[in-house]
Chain A
Amino acid sequence: MADSDKEHLHKELPVIQPTEMKGQHYWKSLRQFYNDPSAIEAKAHEFMEGVVDDFKLSNLTDMSRRKFLALLAASASFAASGCSLYQSKGEVIPYNKEPVGVIPGIPDYYASTCSGCKHACGILVKTREGRPIKINGNDEHPVSKGKACARGQGSILNLYDPERLREPMKKDGSGFSSVSWQAADTAIIEELNKAASAGKEIAVVMNTLNSPTAKRVLDDLAAKYQTVKLYSYELFDDLTRQSAWTKSYGAGSYPLIDWDKAKLILSLESDFLGNEGNTIENARLYTATRNNADLKNFSRLVVFESGMSLTGMNADLRLRLRPELQYDLVMSLLNEFVVKRQTSRYALDKGIIDALQGYSIEKFAAESEIDPKSMDSIISYMAKYKNASILYAGDRLPEQVHVAVNLLNDVLGSTALYRKDQSEAVILPYSSLEEWKTLVAGMNSGNVAVVVHLGTNPVYHLPKSVGYADALAKVPTVVTLSQTESETSAASDWVLPTNHDLESWNDFKTRTGFYSLQQPVIYPLYVNRQKEAVLLTWAAGSESAYHDTLYHDYMMARWEKEVYPPLRLAVGFKEFWFSGLDVGVVSFNEQAEGFDSFNVAAFTSSVAPSAAKGFTVTLAESYFLGDGRFANNGWLQELPHPVTKVVWDNYAALAPATAKELNVDYNDLVEVTVEGNNLKLPVWIQPGMAEKVVAVELGYGRTHAGTVGSDVGFNANILQTSGGAFSQWINSSASVSRADGTFEIITTMEHHSLDNKLVENMQFNRGIIREGTVEEYGKEPNFIQQERKEDEPTTIYKNYEYNGIKWGMAIDLNKCTGCSACVISCNVENNIPVVGKDQVKVSREMQWIRIDRYYSGPPVEPRISLQPMLCQQCDDAPCENVCPVAATTHSPDGLNMMVYNRCIGTRYCSNNCPYKVRRFNFFNYRHHFDGEYYLKQPAPMVSNPEVTVRTRGVMEKCTFCVQRLVQAKQDALQEGKEFTGSGVVVACQEACPTRAITFGNVNDKESEVAKLREHPLGYYVLEQLDTKPNVTYLAKLRNV
């Protein structure tokens, strides 16, 4: 305290009287106490200066309240803009201007056509915000009728394949360098001009050409460059069948079969349900005769084959027969009917009778070691159903077998089953082996200047003896138009990226009477172009002729000029065109090819193919990789083989006895030699194989297929024979020997020792498979229910009552052929990851639905039972009560739910699931598989946005496509309708070509599934456990 202050205090210190204190004389400060003038002055004012007296807004701040709030908001949003939202990590782009008809979150469907194989089925593409996410069949398509096969559905992954070619490339030393389309087109057009003017051949190589407009484009190209020659092929073609029909009936094509009217189907080395013809249609028509409500028209399928095929799995009677003996079989049957039983007018034909001398059923039975009783039963059946017994020879059998089969069908009157309404349309016939040899000779001699591959891969496909790959090196200019790299693109000078189906325009004519239209559902992802548009550019002679809608305009113009006028429609072209695109199919009247009488001259007694001495090698197309074009598709590689359940490999399938003879076991290598070409293959022991036959699938062993598909399996294409006595795919003079080493084949179903008595008939003893015969069912329709009674569980608990909707499924085992389309459909719908061979090896495949295959009977002639197995959505689900965190619970509509967010991954639920349908993410599979292959852009785009992508450590399983159920419920709610659960379709059901799967509300007594639950053939798997499953299986009936 300063001295002056002290003085002040002492001087003026007043005496404080106690009374004053009592009078509540409070003082605020010493200044006030001593009556400082400033304090007295201040006392006059209630507030400090500037607070009240001269209160002006402007004194405080020049900011208005409004401005303050605006600034506050702005700064808050400015601050927020600095935060990183998770959306900013990816690209979440809202529509700036919403396209007409696109509502975010609502899928759009477009009709188009799949060109995954030559059959070009109609498809319906589901897109979300312009992004295709699923391929289904198009209901309007007259052949596929709303269904798409496994390959077609899986092909959506090829669109988003990260290794699709993105820009044109030119050979540059040993590698390739990127070029512009302009540069590529200009250079190629120059080469074409040079070749044409020098009179040197321009070879255009393609697979089946089934688009009339594309054919027109090629014609234009040929008009511009006179030396253009077209070549087409398939790895597995129908040339022998074709030529047999031309000989037998003088027809340009062969007829389709009315499988649905057949009473007896005799399939000779033919896989018509799995690989030959349009299998979607074949399976649908065939299973129409396997209707348990129509026992009268129940067909009988008898299969004579050497390997175990998908068709063979479905046979009522399957007999092993080496392919060389197929001719004897048909001839003996002919002998039986024509000579012995004097059936048909041919009984008087001397030529035929002479030809049939020396064949008899007894002799055949002795030679083939087939039980004569089986033959008797087949013959009596054939005699009984004369006009409804169809013999069908496989495409791989030689011509004389086909001719003999044609005659036998004629003898039996089975020509009634040849379809009259429709026949195959051939736009460009396949090139014969001779033509290929001429081409190769030209290539070698320098007569071929340019080779253009239109999406084909002949370097990989054509038989080695043709010498295509070597000759190609001598061609000055090789151009390959392809979506992905291939063995052929690697051997080319120019590689041009082309469009996926879903980016393309086209029209397809595979049969008489209709066109199937292909329209793009997404703009080309890269600078890739449609191959027809590239050809048109070349045909125009200048690279500047190209524009985005080149082929589209061309096709519309052709349709307007050629297709539309003859239809004589009342609507204008535009309306016609858009309605055509809307439906995807344009039908018109066209006469199917007719067939006259059998040309007897065609039937001559030819020498039977050499009887088997050595080994016979049979080659077949891979069920899911096709000719190898789907090799880079992880979903299809991981789809278990319908018969062996092998994934990610091909193998040499051998009969158990043959394996014993060669002293080999599973996974041992054998060396197969055909015409000097040898290949080491791992052994797969297949029950039901004919002895001394080696069955191998093609489509594997690719060297330039991409990261996923390269070096998977073995390239057995080199075992094809050219000009062999039998056929390109069957060689009966092969040699097979044991080789050193092993190679592990991976399967999703463990193979057990075939003679293990312990596991014999386990599927029946345990109440997994129930089946009977048609006869049994006819006599006692309740035989399954009587069987079920033995396993009937009792409980002391009261069942939960489901009063509203209760979801349920029924699967008709009579109709399931094991085609596996449902598995892929589920994969695509539910974002199932690819796990890779190493993970399937340790049994960690992720598919939510699988097709179980059980053998019964002796290993030499096994019977097969198939069973699609998915989550049974048990009412008393054993998985639910063991989850510690309630991550799997039951919904009031009967679903066994899986809450991924809550799951901590104890795996107890899976342990306690008797059906073992739960799948665990042992790794973050998208990270784990092949160097994060399916995380590379744009692969994740294939994901269905309605379904969570599961992380590692989480259990998952079939949900009955709960996203679809919820959507349907929501739609009904919005439309103000009562939701009965009708009309909801789940992914597996959607895909099933034979409609074996029924789904719906079991509480709706009108629903189909409710009726099937009460069906006399209905049963549940493992019902003795009283888990109360909700998937009803309808027992298979065998017609034996």
Chain B
Amino acid sequence: MSEGSYGEVIDYTKAPPLLEGNPTLSKIDESIAAPMEKFPSKKYFMALSVTLTMLLIGAVALGYTLYYGIGMWGNNIPVGWAFDITNFVFWIGIGHAGTLISAVLFLFRQRWRTAIARFAEAMTIFAVMCAGLFPLIHLGRPWYAAFVFPIPTQHGVWINWNSPLIWDVFAVSTYFTVSLMFWYIGLIPDLATMRDRTTNWFKKKVYSILSMGWRFSNRHWQQYEKVYVILAGLATPLVLSVHSIVSFDFAVSILPGWHTTIFPPYFVAGAIFSGFGMVMTGLIIVRKVFNLEYIITTDHLEKMAKVTLLVSMMVAYAYLMEPFIAWYSGDPVDWYLVLMRATGHYAVGFWIMVTCNVFIPQLFWFKKIRRNVAVLFVISLLINVGMWLERYIIIVTSLYRDFLPSSWHIYVPTIYDFGVLIGSFGLFFTLVLLFARSLPVISMSEVKGVAESAHPTHIGVEHE
């Protein structure tokens, strides 16, 4: 955005341009396609080696777990769930911003979304893949995981529809399917562009198959827009439903600290919060590494910071309501748990969580901070830390101090817990890196659609 210098007339009724520097359409194509067309840099390989190492650590930790049993982790009785479900909820949360940014903002005609939607959607897909791993590997007998599907067998044993875990199975798989479809439909025009650009026969084959014969015809665009809006409409309620249902894992139980009606909205807000945090982290890296600052502008980041501030306050409200209801209910079990969260063995984690999720985002009230990319990056990382801790605190503290003091026991994670956590990050970032090399991280067609050159004007009035 240009600073309004003295003497220049600024038209405040007109939104600032979404792309900086009025790039030509071909420049947009070129700079977005660049990472896929050039041989990757050393930096890329270094990054990939780091993420693959993380993935390998995870594979080894997981291998031990699968061979010997869940006992390799720190889980115990009473703390039956710990890192496993924390990671699950965390990654599902990360997977939320994607759909929110692409579908909900699309429906609200927020055109600034174009620059970040693709990346956010990809993150959704990868995050849900990471998330989906945990319910599988947290099982004592993962080789019987198919029991959670309603498969008719001669035994006549059916799944238990009362269990929130079954709801999870359907909620998460539906969400994944719809997100994948949405992402893929959005990719088709870009895949066609790539097909047309590439000279490599192999790439050409792949892009040709994937672009499904897209010819940029008017008719194609008409149908595309219809499908896209329908899928956006389908995906939007899923943003709310998935995390609501994930929160039912806890809210439906009778455990103090879990059994709370505020959980569904609280979890959705948290998911959006953490998702925006993660998208911000990713985008700041991507725009820097691939020189896309003029497409993913500081304006974009500022807008995201504003949304983050809003959901941070929603999360803060939930944090306040929890102790209030515990106190107001007069239930000694609930009240004790609230006190233990703030003062018990995991108090450090609790206060880091509150600081990262409530106090630090308050800095976004200041415009200077919203527009300072370095600060944004640090804060976005802190939000990720805070949101991971939030799930950890909710799960572990509720379990380790439940009803009967006789069975209370502290939970201490083992290196295998950390190994699997690191592995999930390794998986996520490996997928992100592979994605950045093989598919356009920013939607070419949509960005071109918001470029000024795509909107011929007549004395500042857009042709409709």
Contact = CB atoms under 8 A, between A and B. Distances in A.
Interface centre among A878, A884, A1022 (most CB of B within 10 A): A884
A216 interface: no
Interface string B80-109: 110000000000000000000000000000
Interface residues of A, number: 57
A920 B160 contact: no
Contact of A954 (B140, B164, B404): B140
A166 interface: no
B346 to A, nearest CB: 14
Interface in B230-276: 249, 252-255
Given A954-B140, A955-B140, A854 B339 contact: no
Interface string A950-971: 0111110000000000000000
B71 A919 contact: no
Nearest to A842: B76
Contact of A882 (B158, B163, B339, B412): B163
A928 B71 CA distance: 10
A906 B253 CA distance: 14
Given A853-B406, A916-B77, A923-B69, A884 B140 contact: no
A854 B405 contact: yes
A953 B70 contact: yes
B313 interface: no
Interface in A855-913: 867, 869, 878, 881-886, 902-908, 910-912
A882 B165 contact: yes
A656 to B, nearest CB: 19
Contacts of A766: 332-333, 403
B88 to A, nearest CB: 12
B366 interface: no
Contacts of B404: 768, 852, 869, 914-916, 1021-1022
B124 to A, nearest CB: 24
B75 interface: yes
B110 interface: no
Contacts of A923: 68-69, 71
Contact of B71 (A763, A765, A839, A886): A839
B397 to A, nearest CB: 13
A952 B145 CA distance: 15
Given A766-B332, A884-B148, A885-B159, A904 B140 contact: yes
Contacts of B339: 758
Contacts of B148: 884-885, 904
B35 interface: no
Contacts of B333: 766
A928 B67 CA distance: 12
Contact of A922 (B71, B169, B407): B71
A979 B202 CA distance: 76
A750 B163 contact: no
B138 interface: yes
B221 interface: no
A762 B162 CA distance: 32
A924 B70 CA distance: 10
B282 interface: no
Contact of A907 (B140, B163, B336): B140
A914 B403 contact: yes
B74 interface: yes
B151 to A, nearest CB: 11
Nearest to B144: A904
B78 A916 contact: yes
Contacts, number: 177
B402 A916 contact: yes
Contacts of A920: 70, 77, 80, 140
B410 interface: yes
A921 B166 contact: no
Contact of A906 (B76, B138, B252, B332): B138
A946 B417 CA distance: 37
Contacts of B147: 884-885, 902, 904
Interface in B308-350: 332-333, 336, 339-340
A844 interface: yes
A843 interface: yes
Nearest to A645: B406
The interface residues of chain B, by DSSP majority, are classed as: loop
A919 B399 CA distance: 15
A924 B67 CA distance: 10
A918 interface: yes
A919 B166 CA distance: 22
Contacts of B340: 758
B157 interface: yes
A70 interface: no
Contacts of B76: 842-844, 922
A370 interface: no
Contacts of A928: 68-69, 71
A869 B406 contact: yes
Contacts of B80: 907-908, 910-911, 920
A28 to B, nearest CB: 52
B226 interface: no
Given A878-B254, A884-B165, A953 B160 contact: no
B71 A905 contact: no
A1021 to B, nearest CB: 8
A1025 B148 CA distance: 28
Given A878-B253, A882-B165, A850 B140 contact: no
B220 interface: no
B206 interface: no
A83 to B, nearest CB: 23
A884 B160 contact: yes
Contacts of B75: 907, 922
A923 B162 CA distance: 29
Nearest to A911: B80
Contacts of B169: 884
B50 interface: no
Contacts of A908: 80-81, 163, 165, 249, 253
Contacts of B140: 903-907, 920-922, 952-955
A953 B141 contact: yes
Nearest to A845: B77
A912 B141 CA distance: 20
A235 B333 CA distance: 47
B157 A902 contact: yes
A852 B159 CA distance: 35
B303 interface: no
Contact of B406 (A749, A905, A924, A953): A749
Contacts of B359: none
Nearest to B409: A843
Contacts of B138: 906-907
B307 interface: no
Contacts of A842: 74, 76, 409, 412
A759 interface: yes
Given A765-B332, A883-B163, A916-B77, 8 more contacts: A843-B407, A867-B406, A882-B252, A903-B141, A911-B78, A911-B255, A914-B254, A920-B80
A-B pairs, 3 with minimum CB distance? A905-B140, A953-B140, A922-B71
20 contacts: A758-B339, A842-B412, A843-B409, A869-B404, A881-B252, A883-B160, A884-B163, A884-B166, A904-B145, A910-B80, A911-B80, A911-B399, A914-B255, A914-B404, A918-B77, A923-B68, A1021-B404, A1022-B403, A1025-B403, A1027-B254
Interface of B: 68-71, 74-81, 138-142, 144-145, 147-148, 157-160, 162-166, 169, 249, 252-255, 332-333, 336, 339-340, 399, 402-410, 412
